[in-house]
Chains A and B, each alone.
Chain A
């Protein structure tokens, strides 16, 4: 009973319950979405977007409007600036993106350190799940409902594109539109999740869960559900650690997520075991009749 009481202690606080609910909502969507972020090799893009929206967060704090609005505006502005910087062939996409993101983080820090700034810079950078508002929770619910529906609708096109882009296009899909929908969902998820985890730590909830489960999942659906479960579990563990060790909640959750990623990667099935089904199976005798050629009458 002492152990149960120990574990339930954080949930006796309304503030911690709200924080855990917010992190669970955001984690369940981001943990699933992260599978496609990794599959489409968008991890660097997601990180750039999360860091680059800092000026929007700071401006929202200065103006006294909800941070979500600042996050959305910041994400849009960052996306445009990054796209412009990355398109310069003289610097290349990686260097252009790095310069743009560094500039945006610098601008955000400059604004946040202004005397009129009502919110501390570290809360915007590292998040404050204990300070989530009713609006943040509503945004989390909306993200799960709308984002979940969009993920479900995009599941087949995303899988077909990831497996064989040319084949997907031949089947009538429009890869550019599907990818754009994924990017919009990614931007919305980052904008909502940044409330709890901040501009620097939000990437953990997108990338760590799929890293933890991808070697163990046999289907994209398994990877998405596993990622969501890992994100929610890591949120619980992080909040427990934060409550009992008096550590920063956002950072504790981010570390729990990264620990899960390390554990999942370390426990990946051996290559021999993973390829147990890899032996080519012989054809049924009636079909194994060599000598015919394609097109032969």
Chain B
């Protein structure tokens, strides 16, 4: 594969007349991980919606290799809907077409393999709503794995996840990068961003883009988070988030 797996140039997006994202330009090669860092309402999910083709750019454009896989935030799924972890994983196969037919044996096998990969092999028949928070995130990751996409967009995949699940999800991310897939991971966790290849700081516009060492310094983070940023010891920083779905 030649060229970036995903890129944006001069991207702007709006909901109606309200501009929510401006001046976003970045690119990621196959095998690279990008942390999309910003506060709630900063435009992370909007950027993903544009990359998924759900939202037309107001200006600029994006290039994505193939149809990206998407891992939504758990709270945007319906916990009372009667589906098992296996059913959720199989949904990833819808991207291959044939949506009018029942899942094939191969698709179910791929879903079981994805569940095994995220440590949910024995939970395949448990209802999604009965899984723990970390297990739900892993089931959604399994759905993204089944899609077998060159680019994965993961929206706050570690939000509310227990340390063991976070470690396992991180391990899968490493494997995906090694397979040559590009990962864009939305997060508001400054410390976790240091372990990515690239960091894209957004707060309704692009604040910075580049390797962690070049982007995660005080001035950039203050521009990204404003008064939500608390610097602990001159190096480490945490953010105070006002929870709620943003743009």
Contact = CB atoms under 8 A, between A and B. Distances in A.
6 contacts: A39-B81, A159-B91, A164-B72, A170-B52, A219-B82, A294-B157
Given A169-B52, A280-B132, A163 B78 contact: yes
A289 B165 CA distance: 9
B35 A281 contact: no
Nearest to A217: B82
B143 interface: yes
Interface string A202-235: 0000000000001001111011000000000000
Contacts of A171: 70, 91-92, 94-95, 147
In this complex, the interface size class of chain B, counting residues with CB under 8 Å from chain A, is 35 or more
B81 A162 contact: yes
Nearest to B155: A166
B99 A157 contact: yes
A219 B95 CA distance: 22
Interface string B86-124: 011001101101011011000000000000000100110
Interface string B205-218: 00000000000000
Contacts, number: 155
Interface string A284-297: 10011111111111
Contacts of A164: 72, 76-78, 91
B228 interface: no
B158 A294 contact: yes
Given A159-B87, A170-B70, A280 B134 contact: yes
A172 B95 contact: yes
Q: Which of B67, B91, B131, B158 has the most CB of A within 10 A?
A: B91
Interface string A164-178: 101111111100000
Given A164-B76, A167-B72, A171-B94, A291 B83 contact: no
Interface of A: 39, 153-157, 159-160, 162-164, 166-173, 214, 217-220, 222-223, 275, 277-278, 280-284, 287-297
Interface stretch (B5-13, B167-175, B233-241): B167-175
Contacts of B33: 294-295
Interface of B: 33, 35, 52, 54, 67-72, 76-78, 81-84, 87-88, 91-92, 94-95, 97, 99-100, 102-103, 119, 122-123, 126-128, 130-132, 134-135, 140, 143, 147, 153, 157-158, 162-171, 173-174, 177, 183, 185, 192, 195-197
A173 B83 contact: no
A163 B77 contact: yes
Nearest to A280: B132
B103 A156 contact: yes
Contact of B173 (A168, A277, A295): A295
Contacts of B162: 280
5 closest A-B pairs by CB: A280-B132, A170-B70, A153-B100, A290-B163, A295-B33
A178 to B, nearest CB: 9
A166 B122 contact: no
A223 B82 CA distance: 9
B59 to A, nearest CB: 23
A277 B130 contact: yes
A219 B81 CA distance: 8
A148 B153 CA distance: 36
Contact of A295 (B78, B140, B174): B174
A168 B82 contact: no
Q: Which of B84, B100, B140, B171 has the most CB of A within 10 A?
A: B100
B109 to A, nearest CB: 17
Nearest to A282: B164
